[in-house]
């Protein structure tokens, strides 16, 4: 009888095995429990509201949401709106110049700092400092500097250069370019930091081998170093394109979308139509067009990068 009872009770090895398996389960569930609030919040407040905005773009929502679906009418009204077409044109000008200048300027500054110059630390800090400012502060600073009455133009005239003119901020034909200037000033230092990190990650043995073979410094950069920075170009391009498409606070603080609507951007259009003019449905449709613009840039680049990695394997 004693033997039968003892045979049914778990042995010490069995108890230890059960405790270890229970501990392994708890250890595997702890990261999931820790990350689950963040996951739930992201799903609700990012993807959930994206889906809600997409739904509102098909409704006749005005000041408050309404759920009477009207199909594609908001999108037809959107692309029939002259101001939206001006905003898209300005986004094309602003986005192309902003991304191109930041990439070129950031790469040049990174190459200069990569020469191990004496004041590298100070220059790197100076280049990166604008990124520490908010876009509202940057817009306000450049608004003062470009104001013809108190800014650069007035300063040059006071120095005796009476014929100097730089009134782009009040000129409808050039106001969008002032947004480009301010945006490049703020973001090029960040791009420089990305390229500098990429340059410092290039294998020195490859560079030395090329120099031994007689390659000049220019050849080394153009044929070896810069092509190896393709992932950095990709990352910088994606971030700059994202900044350009959603640009709102910088343009609003600098030009307010004016004079008139000459420097209007899609984000400003979306905000004003959604909240100032009580056209929430049209504003939601413009927000979805902006999202599709970001996806149209991001998806092909991600596909090309994954394809390259797959071919390398």
Q: Give the pLDDT confidence score for residue 104 in this predicted structure.
A: 94
Contact 195, 236 (CB under 8 A): yes
Contact 136, 219 (CB under 8 A): no
pLDDT value at residue 214: 77
The tens place of each residue's pLDDT in the chain, 313 residues long, gives: 444 444 445 555 555 555 556 666 667 777 777 778 888 888 888 889 899 999 999 998 888 888 888 989 999 999 999 999 999 999 999 999 999 999 999 999 998 888 877 777 888 888 888 888 889 999 999 999 999 888 888 889 888 888 888 889 999 999 999 999 999 999 999 999 999 988 888 877 777 787 777 777 788 888 888 888 888 898 899 889 989 998 999 999 999 888 988 999 999 999 888 887 788 899 999 999 999 988 888 887 777 777 766 666 6
Exposure string over 24-33, b if 16+ CB within 10 A, otherwise e: eeeeeeeeee
Question: Any idea where the domains of the chain sit in the sequence?
Answer: 2-56, 82-312
Q: Which residue's entry shows tokens 């250890």?
A: 27
| 3-state secondary structure at position 229 | coil
Q: What is the pLDDT of residue 91?
A: 94
Looking at residue 254, what is its pLDDT?
Answer: 93
Task: Quote the radius of gyration of the chain (alpha carbons, Å).
Answer: 28
Contact 254, 139 (CB under 8 A): yes
* DSSP string over 122-154: HHHHHHHGGGGS-HHHHHHHHHHHH-TTTSHHH
CB-CB contact of 233 with 191 (8 Å): no
Topology at the third CATH level for domain 82-312 = MetI-like fold (1.10.3720)
Rounded Cα distance, 28 and 196, in Å: 39
Q: What is the pLDDT of residue 19?
A: 56
CB atoms closer than 10 angstroms to residue 250: 24
């Amino acid at each position: 009888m004693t033997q039968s009872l003892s045979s049914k009770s778990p042995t010490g090895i069995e108890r230890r095995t059960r405790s270890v398996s229970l501990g392994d389960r708890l250890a595997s569930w702890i990261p999931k429990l820790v990350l689950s609030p963040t996951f739930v919040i992201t799903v609700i407040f990012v993807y959930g509201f994206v889906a809600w905005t997409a739904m509102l773009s098909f409704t006749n929502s005005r000041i408050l949401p309404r759920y009477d679906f009207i199909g594609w009418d908001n999108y037809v009204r959107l692309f029939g709106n002259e101001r939206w077409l001006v905003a898209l044109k300005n986004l094309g000008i602003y986005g192309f110049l902003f991304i191109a200048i930041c990439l070129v300027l950031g790469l040049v500054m990174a190459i200069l700092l990569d020469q191990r110059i004496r004041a590298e630390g100070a220059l790197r800090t100076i280049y990166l400092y604008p990124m520490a400012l908010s876009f509202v502060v940057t817009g306000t600073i450049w608004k003062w500097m470009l104001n013809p009455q108190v800014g650069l133009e007035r300063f040059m005239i006071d120095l005796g250069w009476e014929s100097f003119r730089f009134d782009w901020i009040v000129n409808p034909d050039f106001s969008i370019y002032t947004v480009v200037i301010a945006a490049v000033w703020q973001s090029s230092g960040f791009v420089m930091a990305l390229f500098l990190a990429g340059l410092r990650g290039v294998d020195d043995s490859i560079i030395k081998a090329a120099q031994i073979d007689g390659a000049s410094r220019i050849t080394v950069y153009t044929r070896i170093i810069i092509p190896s920075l393709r992932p950095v170009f990709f990352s910088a391009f994606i971030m700059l394109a994202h900044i350009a498409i959603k640009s709102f606070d910088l343009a609003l603080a600098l030009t307010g979308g004016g004079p008139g609507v000459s420097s209007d951007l899609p984000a400003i259009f979306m905000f004003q139509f959604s909240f100032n003019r009580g056209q929430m449905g049209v504003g939601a449709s413009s927000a979805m067009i902006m999202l599709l613009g970001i996806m149209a840039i991001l998806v092909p680049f991600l596909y090309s990068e994954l394809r390259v990695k797959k071919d390398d394997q």
